[in-house]
A and B are shown apart, each in its own frame.
Chain A
Amino acid sequence: MSIRTIISSSLVCLAALVMAGCGNGESSFVPGKSTGKLMTGAQAQVRKTVDTVFGTPQNLVVWDVLPINDGGIRGTLTDYGKSSAGAATTKWLTITLDSDWATDSPEGATIDFYSGVWSQATIKEWNPETGQVLLTDKVARADGSKKKDVPQKPSVGEKIVINSGVVLRHGRSLYQRHCSHCHGTSGDGAGPTAEYLHPLPRDYRLGKFKFISNKTNSRPSRDDLHRILKNGVPGTYMPSFVPMLKDEELTAVIEYVRFLSMRGEFEEKLGIAFTEYTMEAYSKSDEKKQLVADLKSFIQEDLKDELEYVQEDLKTAWTDADDFETSGVFPVAPRVPDSLASRQRGRELFVGKALNCVNCHGIDARGNGPQTEDFEEGADEPGLHNAWGHVVKPRNLTTGIYRGGRRPIDLYRRIVAGIDPSKMPAFGGKMPIPAGRLAADASPEDRAIAQDEQVWHLVNYVLSVPFEVEPGHLPEPVLAETDEPQTTPEEN
């Protein structure tokens, strides 16, 4: 083979590789698993609806009803005009903004219009006091035509958004760079690296996150996501992203993760609305034509209500998640000082019938309880299955690795609110209170305090497990420091 043949054939190979590897160069959101099970017509409808309200990775859409902070500043157009100085004409607007726009460099910011003939203009100057905006010549029209001069003017009174989607777009590019190779472009936890990882990366699309500070089954708060990005998740492949990402970058990524999560959840819930119209139902049905006709009328008549219901559901869940007062889990009683007695009580609770922790975590807390050998209903393999359908191992408490954080409050939350997606039950309010601890007519507050005390005993025990000489032989707390954690800083 001559050198020329080698060079030309390798060039052809390279070109083929490049073309095959890149496709059309656009990433896309992958439809969810349950969408794939629907009848073709239903599938098309779900995908169309999801694309309409969330867009594509290239062209994100923010649905105004959802609590997504896309970084845009909303306002109203109050005046429009042109002024001529010499040969040049300058277009200007006057706008009133709904919220403060703290910026040092308004130049280059975009204004989006949503009802008139203009779709987007670019700001040249902005006067915060008068609200007057000078525009550059770059004006995009809603009908997409590219005439240099724009004869029609925007209508006064229409709603405008400055810098629409700027945070979300920033979040998207950061997400694509740092997160998507594990978590996938759609947030489905199936990026190219995912298959090499155990545990698998989180699939956001169910809106379920394991290590949150909120009540059972809640969505995570922005703070929760921030904490995970800052601390990583020890024991998994999720590393810390601080100091690599700066604060505003973290905010942007968090917003984009929330966006992906809401998108996935929306698709999932919309799919549930179509439960009667699955492929399976179709193949089993005797009146296939009737089913198709039913689907059509369902789409025409009932879909609107379903959408409203799903939208309301999402909106409430994700808004509440950031309201720590209503959704957060916090104790009423401070941590019981760590002591041998407290640990012993914790151990009692751990092995006791009431909580039955040992059923999953095992008698020696190694995460090998009898439940891990059992077959769950309909499962092909033994063990507990999490919300994503994968076998999940109860935590081995002897390793001293705490995925959701090692602070007492973190463990408290795990016990009280459980880890719903991976079947760890919520034990809040279920603690057995020792006889004589409470009077028969104890107030609800007293009962809550007594409950919390029991949780803290359990926390103290769990924190001592890695230091056991042998299973069940509780180590004595080493020093006064561990006895009264709150007072140590002053003593040193």
Chain B
Amino acid sequence: MKKFWALFFFLWPTVALIVCYIAPSRDWWFYTEAMSPLGVRIDNLFYMILWIVTAVFIGTQYALGYVMWKGATKSESQPAHFSHGSHSLELIWTIVPAFVLVFIALYQMDVWRDFRVKSSFPEETQQDGAQMEITARQFEWRIRYPGPGKQLELTPQPDDLYAVNEVHIPTGRPVKFNLRTDDVQHAFFAPELRIKQDAVPGKVIPVWVMVEESGTYNLLCAELCGWGHYKMRANIYAEPEEKVQEYMEQLLQDQNDDGVSEDSDDADDE
């Protein structure tokens, strides 16, 4: 019976490992491919940590299993032997994880810097400035683009263009935007682009992204912001530069719709 329990408890970590191993290929659960170069680097960090954790998991579970099995096969006539306070063992399992953690902390730094530190943002974004302002609000995303041929200003301008829950960004070049919130704290979460950034009341937070492939990506709120949190869903359309220009022209036309001039009809029938 003792052997049964030893094997029983060793079985579960083994099952867990197998399930985790086959989950992505069976499409049970795993995240989709990263769609931005920075996202790929973030994923690589994730994989590195995943491997470290897997090694530690297997090691500790194996050790536990070994101890259980040893206990189960030992004859009961032998008295138990208590060991306590092995100084060198304590040192090993303090110093080794400490090294691992410090290594991870240092190793991830350049990715963190490229994502978060303004002066390390790609050069293009430094020159062009922010392309749009995305304001989170209970429970939607409002986007403000600068007027045609203009730079985005921090305050609204007369010729700004507005959109709701629809972000259009050009592919193939880094794009910077300003993130704000109108009310409570929200978080800009684009899972496929591997961006998660809190929007904090009173702050204008620059974020950059580069998408290589055209497509429609999700934008969600990742900070429980109220009862309608689940509603805060928007689409990010990554498309070639010309398509974005077309969209902006459409936006401009819609926004100047006076109900009489040409093109105003489709705006009404939307």
Contacts and interface: CB of A to CB of B under 8 A. Distances in A.
A193 B227 contact: yes
A427 interface: no
B260 A407 contact: no
A488 interface: yes
B258 interface: yes
Interface stretch (B51-59, B63-71, B72-80, B261-269): B261-269
A239 B258 contact: no
Interface-central residue, A324, A331, A412, A489, by most chain B CB under 10 Å: A489
Nearest to A479: B159
Interface stretch (B36-44, B113-121, B134-142): B134-142
A400 interface: yes
28 contacts: A178-B231, A213-B268, A227-B270, A234-B142, A239-B138, A239-B139, A239-B140, A239-B228, A244-B231, A331-B259, A335-B260, A408-B256, A408-B259, A409-B267, A412-B258, A412-B259, A463-B158, A475-B158, A477-B158, A478-B158, A478-B159, A481-B148, A485-B252, A485-B256, A486-B256, A486-B261, A488-B148, A492-B245
B165 A243 contact: yes
Given A239-B140, A479-B159, A230 B256 contact: no
Contact of B159 (A331, A408, A481): A481
A467 interface: yes
B94 to A, nearest CB: 38
A324 B259 CA distance: 12
B255 interface: yes
B61 interface: no
Interface of A: 178, 181, 193, 213, 223, 226-227, 230-232, 234, 237, 239-244, 324, 330-335, 400, 406-409, 412, 456, 463-464, 466-467, 475, 477-479, 481-482, 485-486, 488-489, 492
Interface of B: 137-140, 142, 147-149, 156-159, 162, 164-166, 227-228, 231-235, 245, 249, 252-262, 264, 267-270
A492 B147 CA distance: 11
A246 B253 CA distance: 24
Contacts of A489: 249, 252-253
Nearest to A334: B260
A239 B231 contact: yes
A29 B82 CA distance: 72
Contacts of B252: 485, 488-489
Contacts of A232: 140, 164
Contacts of B159: 478-479, 481-482
A330 B260 contact: yes
Interface-central residue, B147, B165, B270, by most chain A CB under 10 Å: B165
A193 B257 CA distance: 35
A181 B138 contact: no
A467 B147 CA distance: 15
A147 B166 CA distance: 55
Contacts of A482: 158-159
A334 B261 contact: yes
Interface-central residue, A181, A193, A330, A407, by most chain B CB under 10 Å: A407
Contacts, number: 107
A232 B232 CA distance: 12
Contacts of A230: 164, 270
Given A475-B158, A486-B262, 13 more contacts: A178-B231, A181-B227, A237-B138, A244-B231, A244-B233, A334-B258, A400-B156, A407-B254, A409-B257, A479-B159, A482-B158, A489-B253, A492-B249
Given A239-B140, A482-B158, A231 B164 contact: yes
Contacts of A333: 260
A241 B231 contact: yes
Contacts of A237: 138
A62 B135 CA distance: 41
A224 B269 CA distance: 10
A75 B259 CA distance: 40
A456 B252 CA distance: 18
Nearest to B218: A243
Nearest to A332: B260
B140 A240 contact: yes
B19 to A, nearest CB: 32
Nearest to A335: B258
B149 A492 contact: yes
A303 to B, nearest CB: 41
Nearest to B148: A492
Contact of B234 (A193, A231, A243, A400): A243
Contacts of A227: 270
B44 to A, nearest CB: 31
A344 B269 CA distance: 33
A250 to B, nearest CB: 12
A464 B158 contact: yes
A243 B235 contact: yes
Contacts of A242: 164-165
Nearest to A459: B258
A24 B204 CA distance: 49
Nearest to A178: B231
A368 B34 CA distance: 52
Contacts of A406: 162, 255
A333 B259 CA distance: 9
A332 B258 CA distance: 10
B253 A335 contact: no
Nearest 3 Cβ contacts at the A-B interface: A485-B256, A335-B258, A409-B259
A240 B256 contact: no
Contacts of A485: 252, 256, 258
B158 to A, nearest CB: 6
A408 B258 contact: yes
A324 B270 CA distance: 13
Contacts of B233: 243-244
B268 to A, nearest CB: 7
A240 B158 contact: no
Contacts of B140: 232, 239-240
B165 A407 contact: no
A227 B261 CA distance: 20
A406 B258 CA distance: 11
Contacts of B234: 243
A223 B254 CA distance: 15
A222 to B, nearest CB: 11
Given A227-B270, A242-B165, A481 B257 contact: no
A466 B156 contact: yes
Interface-central residue, B147, B256, B267, by most chain A CB under 10 Å: B256
Contacts of B162: 406
